[in-house]
Structure 1
Amino acid sequence: MKYLFILGRNIELSKAEVFSYFEKLGNRILKYELEKNGLFLDLENPIKENEIDFLGGVISIGKVIASGTEEELLKNIDKEELYFGTENKLNYTIWNFSKSLEVIRDYLKERFKKEKLKATLKHLTREIKLQEGKRANVPSSKLINEEYFIFGNKELYFGKIFQTCNYEIIEERDMNKPVRRASLAISPRLAKIMINLSKVKEDEILLDPFCGIGTILSEALLQKIKVMGIDKDEKAIIGARQNLEWSKFDKKDYQLINSNSTKTQIDYVYAIATEPDLGEILKKIPTKNKAKETLQKFEDLIVNVLNNFREKISGRVVFTSPNIRIGKKRIHPEIEKILKRTDYKLIYELPEFRENQIVGRMIYVLER
């Protein structure tokens, strides 16, 4: 089954998430291609109708309905129904990941004209700035009935978007929870990404040793993953409990512990996904020595935690670290030192930061 995943602003992070997600599901990727923020996947099995709800770094998912060379593609599209609406007025857009946009644009214009539809092409006029500095276009209008896409150059793939992330619902859920820590809490989007990078499955146990008010725990529980949260801050644990109770999660599926993760003893869990203390919130760029001091404290903390839990974790460890701006560069922990001190190996090292952010994140995925 062939699909297009339109990735968010951090392409490499989103790609790693999608790959890890389908690996854990056992849905083999037979082929993939990446063009800008469009990730084409040929999967062994069909995806679920609500698959996008489980992915944090994906804007939309499209299904391929026709493929081939330009000539073959147009013949194949002719065999497919493109619009299932009841009104004869149609606003549509085309996601472009190909040099054949003009061919598809002209084809759709003529096709809809023959079908006597009042069809209007809406261009992708809103821009998002990608992690690496480039820009990608996304729809700006909500008055769009159909979204199509064209992908590839030699072998072309045409299809329709059939799943789109509902950011309003995610934001509403996050904003309405009883306890919030805006300056400290990780976003639901990044929490989902980290959970998927850990490859933890439904009914397995995910540990967050710095759980704060429970954002990662909540997102995991929504995926029917059992969780254990630890935090030495008693107020954070009280807040996490309030948030999980507010979400009406089954109390049998989560455990909250007010303790220090460098010393706490636990039963076996599958994986870790966590955001440790990234250091103080900075309003101005620190000196190199100050930044290095923060990173050294972080390295010592994460090493102590990983070594404390090393015999209790069977799967991956996913954690964020400070990625600190000094001048025009950024510095982050020396991961080789962490690996040497914990006997883990590196799977992914992925930056996640905004252009003017002083303390961004580096996301690490480790395995034994």
Structure 2
Amino acid sequence: MKYLFILGRNHELSIAEIEEYLDKIENPIKKLTQVNNGLLVEVENPLLENTITYLGGTISIGEILTSGTEKLIFEKLDKIMIYLGENNKLTYTLWDFSEIGELTKEYLKQRFKEEKLKATFKGLTGKIKNQEGEKDEKPSSKLIEEEYFIFQEEGIEYFGKITEKCDYESIENRDMNKPVRRESLAISPRLAKILINLAKLKTGDKLLDPFCGVGGIMQEALLQNMTALGVDNDGDAIKGAQKNLEWFGFSPESYELIHFDSTKVSISPVTAVATEPDLGNILKKIPTKGMAENTLKDFEKLIVQVINNVKKMVEGRIVFTSPYIRIGKKRLSCNIENICERTGYHEVRESLPEFRENQVVGRMIYVLEKN
């Protein structure tokens, strides 16, 4: 089975999440092929319904309708239904990851004309600057009813259509409307989902967030029918988390909040850790190298103490973000080798940067397992 994933702005992080998600649900990946922000994924089994709702770094997912060589693809398309709607008006677009993108556009135009559809093509005129500094295309019109794609892999053309799209509007609404928000300190629902997948947490598992704040990561775990334990040394944050989780309507038995220092707290057993500790001061100006190094040393000391305190109760992975601080034209991250050496953990994949171009303090994401 092959599917197309349209990646979010951080391609590397999006792919890492897809790999870990498919691995945790035991759907082995046979092959991955990336072209720009398109990722063709071959898996052993069909994807679960509404897979998009479990992923934070994927814009949309598409199913393949037919495939063939460049010479045969249009003959194959002639034999299948492309548009299944009842309305004779259609606004559509095409995600182009092939050398025959223009030919495919012409084919669709002629095909819809022959089928007497009042079809209007809308180009992917929206642009999003990705982590690599290049611009990815995306739809800019909300009027688009069908999104088709053409993807070329090793001489074979894959034609299909987008079947699942991330509902950014509902995610934003639930995030903006919850009772307690901390603008500058909040982790986005998108990144919270990614951390949960990197930790390989599944339905029925128990999350520990030792820096839970107002419950951003906890809420995403609870929405996926996990249980959650949140700890924070800030009493106001714990009160805010309580209000937010009550507002979502989660069962009180599904989560626990503890107002305590995570370097000393006693906890019950958990499956894995996904957390965003304090990343230091929110800087608008680029710090000196010495200031950045001090921030990172403080972070390392804190995260080592927390991991060593809770690790006996953690069955699986520990996933956390750390400061990734801009100094001049480069960025500094914490000494993960030192953290691993002092805690008895090791990295299971390369660290994953997550930042925006002008952000002084970005994030570096680490995925650890016990030695």
Please report the TM-score for the alignment, with normalisation by the length of structure 2.
Answer: 0.97
Which residue of 2 is the match for residue 60 of structure 1?
Answer: 60
- Matching of residue 87 in structure 1 with residue 87 in structure 2: yes
User: 1:150 maps to what in 2?
Assistant: 150
Distance 2:74 2:105 in 1: 11
Following the alignment from structure 1 to structure 2, what is the Cα–Cα distance between the partners of residues 134 and 77?
33
- 1:318 is aligned to 319
Q: Which deviations, in whole Å up to 9, do the C-alpha atoms of 1:29-76 show, x marking residues without a partner?
A: 122211111111112221233111111000010001111211222222
CA deviation after TM superposition for structure 1 residue 3, in Å? 0.6
**Residue type at the aligned position of 2:139:** P
- What does 1:1-368 align with in structure 2 at a 5 Å threshold? 1-153=1-153, 154-348=155-349, 349-368=351-370
Structure 1 residue ranges (4+ consecutive) displaced by more than 2 angstroms after TM superposition: none
Please tell me the residue identity of whatever aligns with 2:70: E
Deviation at 1:151, TM superposition (A): 0.8
Aligned to 2:348, the other structure's residue is in SS state: strand
State the 1:79 CA deviation: 2.1
Question: How many Å separate the matches in 2 of 1:27 and 1:141?
Answer: 34
Deviation at 1:277, TM superposition (A): 0.6
Whole-angstrom CA distance in 2 between matches of 1:48 and 1:82: 23
Q: 1: distance between equivalents of 2:173 and 2:121? A: 31
Whole-Å separation in 1 of the counterparts to 2:88 and 2:247: 45
Identity of aligned pairs, percent?
59
Query: Take 2:331 and 2:136, find their aligned partners in 1: how far apart are those partners?
Result: 24
Do 1:49 and 1:163's aligned partners in 2 also have CA atoms closer than 8 Å? no
Q: Distance in 2 between matches of 1:241 and 1:69?
A: 57
Q: Normalising by structure 1, what TM-score?
A: 0.98
Distance in 1, Cα, partners of 2:272 & 2:35: 32
Secondary structure, aligned partner of 2:3: strand
Q: Distance in 1 between matches of 2:32 and 2:78?
A: 26
Amino acid at match of 1:326: I
CA distance in 2, matches of 1:134, 1:74: 32
d(CA) in 2 for partners of 1:75 and 1:312? Answer: 59
CA–CA separation in structure 1 for the residues paired with 2:36 and 2:341: 36
Q: Equivalents in 1 of 2:116, 2:49: separation in Å?
A: 31
Alpha-carbon separation, structure 1, partners of 2:68 and 2:307: 50
| Residues 312-357 of structure 1: CA deviation (Å, up to 9, x unaligned) | 1111111000000111111010111111111211123010001000
State the shift of 1:103 in Å: 2.1
Q: Distance in 1 between matches of 2:368 and 2:98?
A: 35
Contact 1:203–1:225 under 8 Å retained in 2: yes
Query: Matched residue of 1:109: which SS?
Result: helix
Q: Over residues 142-162 of structure 1, what are the superposed CA-to-partner deviations in whole Å (9 max), with x where a residue is unaligned?
A: 111110001114111110001
Q: Deviations over 1:88-119 (max 9, x none)?
A: 22111000111110221121111111111121
Matched residue of 1:70: which SS? coil
CA distance in 2, matches of 1:234, 1:337: 31
Give how far 1:193 is off.
0.6
For structure 2, the 5+ residue unaligned runs are none
Partner Cα distance (1:193, 1:80) in 2:
37
Q: Which amino acid aligns with 1:197?
A: L
Give the CA RMSD over aligned residues.
1.0
What CA deviation, in whole Å up to 9, does each residue of 1:137-186 have, x standing for no partner?
00000111110001114111110001111111000000000011001010
Q: Indicate the SS of the match to 2:71.
A: helix
Distance 1:335 1:181 in 2: 28
Other structure's SS at 2:90 match: strand
Alignment: residue pair count: 368
Letter of the 2:289 counterpart = K
Q: What amino acid maps onto 2:358 in structure 1?
A: N
Moved more, 334-343 or 220-229: 334-343
Structure 1: gaps of 5 or more residues: none
Q: What SS does structure 1 have at the residue aligned with 2:47?
A: coil
The separation in 1 between residues aligned to 2:326 and 2:259, in whole angstroms, is 33
Tell me the amino acid that sits aligned with residue 23 of structure 2. Answer: E
Shift of 1:134: 0.9
| AA at the equivalent of 2:298 | K
Question: Aligned with 1:83: secondary structure?
Answer: coil
Equivalent-residue separation in structure 2 for 1:202 and 1:170 (angstroms): 20
Q: Which amino acid is 1:271 matched to? A: A
Report the alpha carbon displacement of residue 253 of structure 1 after superposing the two structures with TM.
0.8
